[in-house]
Structure 1
Amino acid sequence: MNGEESTAGIEAVPYNMADAWARATGHLVKSAVEVNRAALAAYGLTDSERTSGGPSVAYARPEWELHREAAEEGVLTVGDRISFSKTLTDEDVAAFADVSGDTNRLHLEEGFAEESRFGDRIAHGTLVSGLISAALARLPGLTIYLSQDMTFLAPAYIGDRLTATIEVVDDLEDNKYILSTNVHNESDKQLIKGEAVVLIDPIPDTD
C-alpha cells in the first residue's frame, strides 16, 4: 500500500527470509542450508505434475489443484490453458507480510480492517497476483517472466479459494509468448485481469 500508514500495535519485524520460512513451514531452522532443506521437504511433485505436460520445474502440495488444456503435450501453442488453485491462509498472509515488509494493518488486524471499505482483512494484492506466477511455472519448459500488466478488480479475503488461469494468446516466435492472466475466487468473481509476456527456455539437465 502507498502513503503513510500507522504501525500502532504492530511489532517491528526484521527482514529475515529464514524466519519467514521457519514460521511458514513450522520448522525451527538455523541456517540457509536448513531453510532450503525444510522448504523442499514441505513440497513434493504430485502424480499429475509428473505425468501432465512433461517434466515440471515446480513443486506441489496435495491441497493445490492444477488443470492443463494443451493441444500437444510438452509443446506450447496458442490456446493452451493452465489453471492453478489454492486457498489463501492466514499463515500465507503473515509470512508474506514478514518477507515483503508490507505490514499494512489492513492485512493483519481484524478490528482495523473491519472499519475499512472492505469490512474485513484482505490479502496483499501482490500475494494474490503471485498465483499467476505459480501457473506460469507449470508451463512446459523453464518460464522466464519478461513483463506483466494487470488490473486489480476486487479484493481477496483470508480463506478464499483462488484460481489463476493463464492462456497463450500469441506466439511471438523465438520462444516468446503473450498470455492472458486472470485470477478468480471460488464464486467465479474476477479479481485480477492482465497480460504477460514470457520466454520459455529448455529445462536444465541436472541428471
Structure 2
Amino acid sequence: MFDSAMRANRAAIEAFSPPADGSDEATPPAADAEDRIDPGEDLAEWTSEVHVDGEPTVGDTVRFSKTLSEDDVDRFAAASGDTNPLHLDEEWAEETRFEGRIVHGTLVAGLISAALARFPGNVVYLSQDLEFRAPVRIGDRVTAEVTIVEALGDDRYRLRTVVDGGDTRIIDGEAVVLIDSSA
C-alpha cells in the first residue's frame, strides 16, 4: 500500500515540479507526434454520436463514450495531483465502502466536456452543477450525454448533462454553455 501511494505521489510531484535547469517556467515534456490528439478526431476506443442539425436548438444531443482504464486514472492523478489512495491503491481501497479502487469523479465528469467538444462550433463552459450517484470502476465503459434543454439568448444554452454506465446513472447535472456556431 505504501509503495503504490509513494509511486503516485512521485508521479504527481514530477508532473508539477519546475525544470531541473533552474528556469522559472515549467515545461511539460513534449509529446511524440503519434501521442498527440488531433482536434476533431476520435481515438479508436472512443465513440461519439452527434444529433445536431445546423444552429444549436432545444433537443440537440451529443454522446461520448469511453472505457476508463488504469492508465487514465494514473495520468489523471499525475496531472491533477489527486493521489487519493481510493483511486490508486487496490489494497487500501478494498477496505473502504467501495470495496476496491474507483475512478476519480472529476475524471468521469470530464467526459461531459468531451461530449461538449463534439458540438459544432466553439463551446465554452459557463457553469456546471453535478450530482455523483454511483462510482465507476477501472475498466467500466461510460457514456456522457448532453442535451440542450433551453436557449437562453446571446448564444447561451442550458443543458442536461448525464453520465451513464450501462443501466446505472453515474452523474446527473446541468450546465450552461456558450456555443459560438460561427467558429
TM range (shorter): 0.7 to 0.9
Instruction: Give runs of ≥4 in structure 1 deviating > 3 Å.
Output: 36-39
Residue 118 in structure 1 maps to residue 118 in structure 2: no
Higher relative contact order by CA 8 Å / sep ≥ 6: 1 or 2? 2
Q: Distance in 1 between matches of 2:69 and 2:144?
A: 16
Give the aligned residue type for 2:95: E
Q: Distance in 1 between matches of 2:82 and 2:133?
A: 20
Can you give the 5+ residue segments of structure 2 that lack an aligned partner in the other structure? 18-26
Q: Distance in 2 between matches of 1:161 and 1:203?
A: 33
Q: Distance in 2 between matches of 1:36 and 1:16?
A: 17
Residue of structure 2 aligned with 1:62, choices 44, 64, 71: 44
Q: Distance in 1 between matches of 2:181 and 2:35?
A: 24
Taking the TM superposition and a 5 Å limit, the aligned residue runs for 1:84-163 are 84-163=64-143
Residue 34 in structure 1 maps to residue 30 in structure 2: yes
Deviation at 1:15, TM superposition (A): 4.9
Which residue of structure 2 aligns with residue 16 of structure 1?
15
Contact 1:15 1:99 in 2 (8 A): no
Q: How many residues align?
A: 169
Identity in percent: 47
Which residue of structure 1 aligns with residue 24 of structure 2?
none
Q: Distance in 1 between matches of 2:146 and 2:179?
A: 15
Deviation at 1:38, TM superposition (A): 5.0
Superposed CA offset, 1:87-140 (max 9, x none):
000000000001100000010111111111011100000000000000011111
**Greater strand content:** 2
C-alpha RMSD over aligned residues: 2.1
Deviation at 1:68, TM superposition (A): 1.9
Deviation at 1:33, TM superposition (A): 7.5
Contact 2:56 2:181 in 1 (8 A): no
Q: Distance in 2 between matches of 1:17 and 1:35?
A: 16
Can you give the 5+ residue segments of structure 1 that lack an aligned partner in the other structure? 1-6, 19-30, 45-56
Which residue of structure 2 aligns with residue 191 of structure 1?
170
Q: Distance in 2 between matches of 1:120 and 1:96?
A: 18
Superposed CA offset, 1:168-206 (max 9, x none):
000011110000000000x220000000000012465xx
Give TM-score, length-normalised by structure 2: 0.84
Where 2:31 maps in the other structure, the secondary structure is: helix
Give TM-score, length-normalised by structure 1: 0.75
Where 2:72 maps in the other structure, the secondary structure is: helix
Q: Distance in 1 between matches of 2:84 and 2:158?
A: 33
Q: Which moved more, 1:194-203 or 1:99-108?
A: 194-203
Deviation at 1:8, TM superposition (A): 3.8
Deviation at 1:153, TM superposition (A): 0.4
